[in-house]
Amino acid sequence: MPDALFSDPRLAGVYDPLDPDRSDLDMYVDVVKRFGASKVLDVGCGTGTLASLLAELENSVLGLDPASASIDIAQSKVVSDFAEFIVAEAPDIADDPARHRGFDLATMTANVAQVFLDDDEWLATLRAIHSCLRPAGRLVFEARRPSDRAWIRWTKELTWRVVDVDGEGPVETWVQVTEVNGEYVSFDSPTIFHSDGERINSTSTLRFRTEDAVKGSLTDAGFGTIDVHDLPYAPGRGWLFIASA
């Protein structure tokens, strides 16, 4: 079940204004251009920001997300013949002949690859993506390096902010880690709407797999060549994986 941060309609509605700097997506646009991909599958598309960027370049994009509230936002802000959004996960379309088509490239941006906590679910997702790619198609995604211990920066003191959102007024939010258990890190993301005082809590857990573990799962899912690069927008803090089907 998606976290409230993405599935609650009011939270989905302020997601973009609370996180307006999406320069992290530039590297995905660059990769799409580099490989000349015309059909892109965006797994965990959220509110559709990457799809919007690609649609402007006339790339055909199918965005998937299990959070219907996020998909509603994506559909309202990206009005293009080049973009389509559905409430689904990768295994859903892998089994659907109407949706299953030869994509040139698939993406999982931001923390998407780390929300899969269970090994079986993660492997099923990778296998589904592999089946949706054309021969020699590519999967591109990022993951944080466990050694960077990103969670030590997830405190109220370092993440607290208040943003004046059109139609909502001042909105307050922050991130606070609640538990670190081996590879699993849980954190709260409260959001307070000052206009009426409503507070909506969202709790998330991410899994910080090692580089070898991620590469092993990609191999098990049927991917061949696996290239691992330093994360361009956060050097030393994460990896960019590019795996060929």
Q: List the strands of the sheet with 203-207, edge to edge.
A: 176-181, 184-188, 203-207
| CATH assignment at residue 23 | 3.40.50.150
Instruction: Please report which confidence band the pLDDT of residue 142 belongs to, taking 50, 70 and 90 as the band edges.
Output: very high
Does residue 186 sit in the same domain as residue 239? Answer: no
Interatomic CA distance for residues 80 and 175, integer angstroms: 34
Instruction: Please report which confidence band the pLDDT of residue 4 belongs to, taking 50, 70 and 90 as the band edges.
Output: confident
Interatomic CA distance for residues 99 and 129, integer angstroms: 12
* Structural domain count of the chain: 2
164 CB-near residues (< 8 Å, 6+ apart): 170, 171
pLDDT of residue 2: 84
Does residue 88 sit in the same domain as residue 108? Answer: yes
Which secondary structure element, helix H or strand E, spans residue 85, and what is its range?
strand 83-87
Q: Residue 180: how many CA atoms within 13 Å on its side-chain side?
A: 10
Interatomic CA distance for residues 168 and 234, integer angstroms: 32
Does residue 121 sit in the same domain as residue 191? Answer: no
Residues 127, 133, 134, CA angle at the centre, nearest 5°? 135
Q: What percent of the chain has pLDDT over 90?
A: 95
pLDDT of residue 68: 97
Instruction: Please report which confidence band the pLDDT of residue 20 belongs to, taking 50, 70 and 90 as the band edges.
Output: very high
Instruction: Report the predicted TM-score, pTM, of the whole model to 2 decimal places.
Output: 0.96
Interatomic CA distance for residues 172 and 174, integer angstroms: 7
pLDDT of residue 96: 79
**Residue pLDDT, tens place only, 66-115:** 999 999 999 999 999 999 999 999 999 988 777 667 999 999 999 999 99
Interatomic CA distance for residues 178 and 39, integer angstroms: 39
Per mean pLDDT, which range of 95-104, 117-126, 183-192 is the poorest?
A: 95-104
Average pLDDT, the chain: 96
* Predicted confidence (pLDDT) at residue 141 exceeds the cutoff of 90: yes
Q: Tokens for 119? A: 């090994």
Torsion of CA 45, 49, 52, 54, to 10 degrees: -70
**Residue pLDDT, tens place only, 199-212:** 999 999 999 999 99
pLDDT of residue 95: 81
Does residue 153 sit in the same domain as residue 215? Answer: no
197 CB-near residues (< 8 Å, 6+ apart): none
Does residue 45 sit in the same domain as residue 127? Answer: yes
Interatomic CA distance for residues 105 and 31, integer angstroms: 9
pLDDT of residue 108: 98
The phi, psi pair for 33, rounded to 5°, reads -65, -40
Does residue 173 sit in the same domain as residue 56? Answer: no
pLDDT of residue 12: 97
* Predicted confidence (pLDDT) at residue 53 exceeds the cutoff of 90: yes
Greatest CA separation for the chain:
53
Q: What is the mean pLDDT of residues 218-236?
A: 97
* CA-based torsion, 120, 179, 239, 71: positive or negative: positive
> Helices 68-77 and 9-18, interaxial angle, to 10°?
50
172 CB-near residues (< 8 Å, 6+ apart): 160, 161, 162, 191, 192, 194
Does residue 157 sit in the same domain as residue 222? Answer: no
Does residue 100 sit in the same domain as residue 130? Answer: yes
- Domain span at residue 94? 4-146+210-244
Does residue 72 sit in the same domain as residue 134? Answer: yes
pLDDT of residue 100: 66
